[in-house]
Amino acid sequence: MITSGPVTSLIGMTQNTVEKTSVTLLGLGAMGTALARTWLAAGHPLTVWNRTPARAAALAAEGARVADSAAEAVASNTLVVVCLLDDTSVDEVLAGIDLSGRDLVNLTTSTPAQARARAEWAHERGARYLDGGIMAVPPMIGVPEAGGYVFYSGSRELFERHREPLAIPAGTTYVGEDAGFAALHDLALLSAMYGMFAGVAHAFALIRKEDIDPVVLAPLLADWLVAMAPTVHQTAEQLRSGDYTKGVVSNLAMQVAGTPTFLSTAEQQGVSPELLGPYFELMRRRLAQGSGEEDLTGVIDLLVH
Ligand SMILES: NC(=O)c1ccc[n+]([C@@H]2O[C@H](COP(=O)([O-])OP(=O)(O)OC[C@H]3O[C@@H](n4cnc5c(N)ncnc54)[C@H](OP(=O)(O)O)[C@@H]3O)[C@@H](O)[C@H]2O)c1
C-alpha cells in the first residue's frame, strides 16, 4: 500500500506536475533525502522507500508517496533511482524484485567492477541500466551554484531519456557506455582529492608548533593549490603524446635534488615524512631510470602494474 502526505499538497502537486516524469527512489539516507527534496520541489511525482520507514515521514509531509516495500516502489514507476550505502545493500534491497522494463539508475558508490557487474545483472533481469557517481555532498544537491554534479555511464539512451529529471538534483556529466566509467571517474577525482588533503595535512603539520596562524596560512595554501592545478593539463598532454619531456619547466633531476630539503625540514619540525616520503621515493626511482629531463609524469607509469 502506498501512503502519502497531505491531500492538499498532492492536489497542488498534480496541478503542477503534468507530464513530469514520475520517479521512484530507494534509499533515504543523507544523500537520498537531499535528492528526494529536489524532485519534490521541481514537481516530479516521487515514490520513496527506505529500510527504516521513519526516515520517509518528513518527505511524505512534503508530498512524497511512501511505499511499504522496495518491490512496491519499483513497480510504481519506470524510472527507479537507487541511492543506498554500498553495492551489498543494493543487492539485498533488489533481490527477488521484478525489474523488467525498469530504467534503473544506481547512484550508490561502487567500484567500476561492481558497476559493470550490476549493469549485467540488471540487463539479465530485463532492466536498462545507468550508473552514477555523485561529485557532491548533500548540501550541494539542488544548489546549482555549488557546482556539484553526477558522473553517469552505461546506457546513453537511458541517460538521454531521463536527462531532465536527472539534471534536477545536480549537474550531469555522461562519460560513456561502459557502466564502470562513472565510478572510475568518481574515484579518480576523489583519489586526487585525498592526495591534495595529504599535502595539506603535511603543510599544516610543518607550522603546527610555530607562531604561525593556520588561518593566515590557509589562503596562501589554497591559492597555491589553485595556481598549481593547471599542471594536470600538461600531464595529460604528455601522457597522450608519450613525450614526457614536452614543456618541462621543473625537471625531475632538480626536483629530486630538492627532496632532502623537504625531508630535513620535516625532521626539524618534528613532522613524520610518511605522507610525502612514498611520493619522493617514486620520483627517485623514476630518476634512476634515466628520466632526469622529464617532470613528474613518469611516476604514473611506476604506479601502473
Ligand atoms: N553523503 C555524502 O556526502 C555522499 C557523497 C557522494 C556520494 N555518496 C554516496 O551516496 C550513497 C548514500 O550515501 P548517504 O550519505 O545517503 O548514506 P547514509 O546516510 O549512511 O544512508 C545509507 C542508506 O542506505 C540504506 N541502507 C544501508 N544498508 C542497507 C541494507 N543492507 N538494506 C537496505 N538499506 C540499507 C540506509 O537505510 P536505513 O535508513 O534503514 O539505515 C540509508 O537509506 C553512498 O553510496 C555514498 O557513498 C554520499
Q: Could you tell me the distance, in angstroms and rounded to a whole number, from the CA of residue 86 to the centre of ligand 1?
A: 7
Task: Encode pLDDT of 217-253 as tens digits.
Answer: 999 999 999 999 999 999 999 999 999 999 999 999 9
**Atom of ligand 1 at shortest range from CA of 27:** 43
- CB of 84 within 6 A of ligand 1: the answer is yes
Which phi-psi region, left, alpha or beta, contains residue 270 (left: φ > 0; alpha: ψ -120 to 50)?
left
- Is any atom of ligand 1 closer than 6 Å to the C-beta of 106? no
Residue 170 CB less than 6 A away from ligand 1: no
Give distance in angstroms: CA of 255 to centre of ligand 1.
43
Distance CA 304, CA 291 (A): 17
32 lines ligand 1 (CB under 6 A): yes
Give the residue, by CA position, lying nearest to ligand 1 atom 18: 29
pLDDT of residue 19: 82
Instruction: Strand 23-26: give its sheet, edge to edge.
Output: 2-4, 65-67, 46-49, 23-26, 79-82, 103-106, 128-135, 149-154, 171-174
**Structure confidence by residue, pLDDT tens digits, 5-44:** 433 233 344 444 458 999 999 999 999 999 999 999 999 9
Q: Which three cell numbers stand for residue 33?
A: 533525502
Which of 85, 89, 135, 150 most suits a substitution to test ligand 1, by most atoms within 8 Å of the C-beta? 85
Q: Cell for 78?
A: 519506470
Q: Is the pLDDT of residue 162 over 90?
A: yes
Q: Is the whole model's pTM more than 0.85, yes or no? A: yes
CA 15 to chain centre: 35
pLDDT at 48 (0 to 100): 98
In short, whether 183's Cβ falls inside 6 Å of ligand 1 is no
What was the pLDDT predicted at 180?
98
Q: Over the stretch 120-161, which tens digit does the pLDDT of each residue have?
A: 999 999 999 999 999 999 999 999 999 999 999 999 999 999
pLDDT in tens, 60-80: 999 999 999 999 999 999 999
State the pLDDT at residue 90: 98
Give percent of the chain above pLDDT 70: 94
DSSP classification of residue 69: S
Nearest CA to ligand 1 atom 37: 51
Q: What is the C-alpha to C-alpha distance for residues 165 and 174, in angstroms, rounded to an integer?
A: 14
Ligand 1 center–CA 91 separation, angstroms: 13
CA distance 166 to 30: 18
Going by pLDDT thresholds of 50, 70 and 90, the confidence category of residue 2 is low
Domains of the chain: residue spans and CATH? 18-177 (3.40.50.720), 186-303 (1.10.1040.10)
Is the CB of residue 77 below 6 angstroms from any atom belonging to ligand 1?
no
pLDDT, tens only, 210-226: 999 999 999 999 999 99
Ligand 1 binding pocket includes 50 (Cβ within 6 Å):
yes
Name the amino acid, one letter, at 260: P
Cell of 108: 550508490
Q: Contact at 8 Å (CB) between 66 and 97?
A: no
